[in-house]
Amino acid sequence: GGPASLSRFRGALVAAVLGDCVGGEFEGAEEVPMDRVLQHLNGLEDESRGDGILQYSDDTAMTRCVVQSLLTRAGFDEQDMARRFAKEYSHSPGRGYGAGVIQVLRKLASPHLNDVFQPARAQFSGHGSFGNGGAMRAAPFALAFSNPVDIRRYSRLGAMLTHSCSLGYNGAVLQALAVHISLQGGLELPHRPTFINKLISEMEEVEAEDAARSDSRVFSESEFPFCDRLHRVKDLMERNNSVSIEEVISELGNGIAALHSVPTAIFCVLHCLEPREGLPERYGGLERTMAYSLALGGDTDTIACMAGAIAGAHYGIDAIPQIWQRCCEGAEDADINAERLHTLYHQAPAEG
């Protein structure tokens, strides 16, 4: 479909769920041989496996809250979103949440809480979390708002409900912008060479803020840490086929920090736009992106979830094998919600 077509919305939201569900198998594994990944993915094609056999984790649980809140409030409402996070956690605490964020989610459940951003600010001795929990649920902001200024503003605020460190919430901004540019056709051949440069120039503005400069110093990161990583993505891309998985992990990371996973997810999408050695020839780009994200090991559910959202916004829903969709809890809901977000997106007044 063309820019911001329904197929792209459906692809983004469904592939994010898929990444979370299929990636859960390897989360935390140090080494994941491609053979094991392909065995896992081939297993999904076994018809005898029940519907929704692969359960979603915190990534999708929180994304669903973001989606429901944006749809119900027809925009961003921090009180409503915070309430939904807290309620979801209290109903299903066993979805594999980060060790720190559960304290925030418990505090958000308090009826006496006035400032919903306060519990996140108290995390990690007041430094806030730099985990990727804000980024893993950021895709819906690109599906609800068409204007990059709104996407930046609301993806940041949505993440700050749990992640007050800029190394956490700026990961969410980067992920939302990547989905946005992909949704607009930014990965189609004529625009492809400028995709990463667009992200770098957006993030140069984002990371110029005082809070970002100060957090970078606290955590001994470079002045513009996300831009820095995006430049590394670009360098790796220029080396084309000669990049090993070990180099990707050492240059970009595969961990639970937003800085060590959002640029990695972006790399997975870009790298898998072309057929790659070691990946089945019958695979299309979306399938390649999933397999490659899993083979990196580490935070596989989250990297595959984020890469899935960006790739799904490019390839559209038809690129996702139906048999894979049937195996994943929540894929059907995501498909329905994508259509609602598509309606909201195209109803929203076009702002300058």
The residues binding Mg ion (CB under 5 A) are 57-59, 96, 299, 301-302
For every residue of 82-121, DSSP letters joined together read: HHHHHHHHHH-TTS---TTHHHHHHHHT-TT-S-TTHHHH
CB-nearer residue toward Mg ion: 137 or 314: 137
Binding of ligand F2R by 165 (CB under 6 A): yes
Least gap, CB of 181 to ligand F2R (angstroms): 23
- Restricted to residues 230-289, the positions that interact with ligand F2R (CB under 6 A) are 256
How far is Cα 237 from Cα 262, in angstroms, rounded to an integer? Answer: 16
Phi, psi of 191 (to 5 degrees): -95, -15
Closest CA to 194 of 248, 241, 237, 163: 237
Q: How far is the CB of 56 from ligand F2R (least distance, A)?
A: 10
Classify burial at 125, counting beta carbons within 10 Å of its beta carbon; exposed 0-12, middle 13-18, buried 19 or more. Answer: exposed
Return d(Cα 286, Cα 311) in angstroms, integer: 6
- The binding track of 66-95 with respect to ligand F2R, each residue x by CB under 6 A or -, is ------------------------------
In the list 11, 19, 119, 131, the residue contacting ligand F2R (rule: CB under 6 A) is 131
Give the tokens for residue 198. 């667009």
Residue with tokens 């306060």: 118
274: tokens are 């072309």
Q: Which listed range, 96-104, 142-150, 266-274, 325-333, lies at the site for ligand F2R (CB under 6 A)? A: 96-104
Is 189 among the residues that bind ligand F2R (CB under 6 A)?
no
Site for ligand F2R in 302-341 (CB under 6 A): 302
Which CB atom, from 165 or from 177, has the smaller least distance to ligand F2R?
A: 165
- Residue 217 Cβ vs Mg ion, minimum distance, rounded to whole Å: 27
Q: Which of 4, 10, 57, 290 binds ligand F2R (CB under 6 A)?
A: 57
Confirm or reject binding of residue 99 to ligand F2R (CB under 6 A).
yes
What H or E segment, with its residue span, contains residue 179?
A: helix 166-183
Could you tell me which stretch among 230-238, 265-273, 297-305, 332-340 binds ligand F2R (CB under 6 A)?
297-305
Burial class (CB within 10 angstroms; exposed 0-12, middle 13-18, buried 19+) of 295: buried
Nearer to Mg ion by Cβ, of 17 and 270: the residue is 17
Single-letter code of the amino acid located at 345: Y
Residues 6+ apart with CB under 8 A from 318: 7, 11
Q: Work out the angle between the directed axes of helices 58-73 and 6-23 (0-180°, nearest 10).
A: 150
Among 68, 129, 216, 325, binds ligand F2R (CB under 6 A): 129
| Choice from 85, 130, 224, 283 touching ligand F2R (CB under 6 A) | 130
Maximum Cα interatomic distance, the chain, rounded to a whole number of Å: 57
Least distance from ligand F2R to the Cβ atom of residue 316, Å: 26
Near ligand F2R by CB under 6 A: residue from 60, 68, 69, 132: 132
C-alpha closest to that of 299 among 56, 25, 89, 17:
25
Q: Which does 131 bind (CB under 5 to 8 A by kind): ligand F2R, Mg ion, none?
A: ligand F2R
Point out which residues bind ligand F2R (CB under 6 A).
Answer: 27-28, 57-59, 96-101, 124, 127, 129-133, 136, 165, 256, 299, 301-302
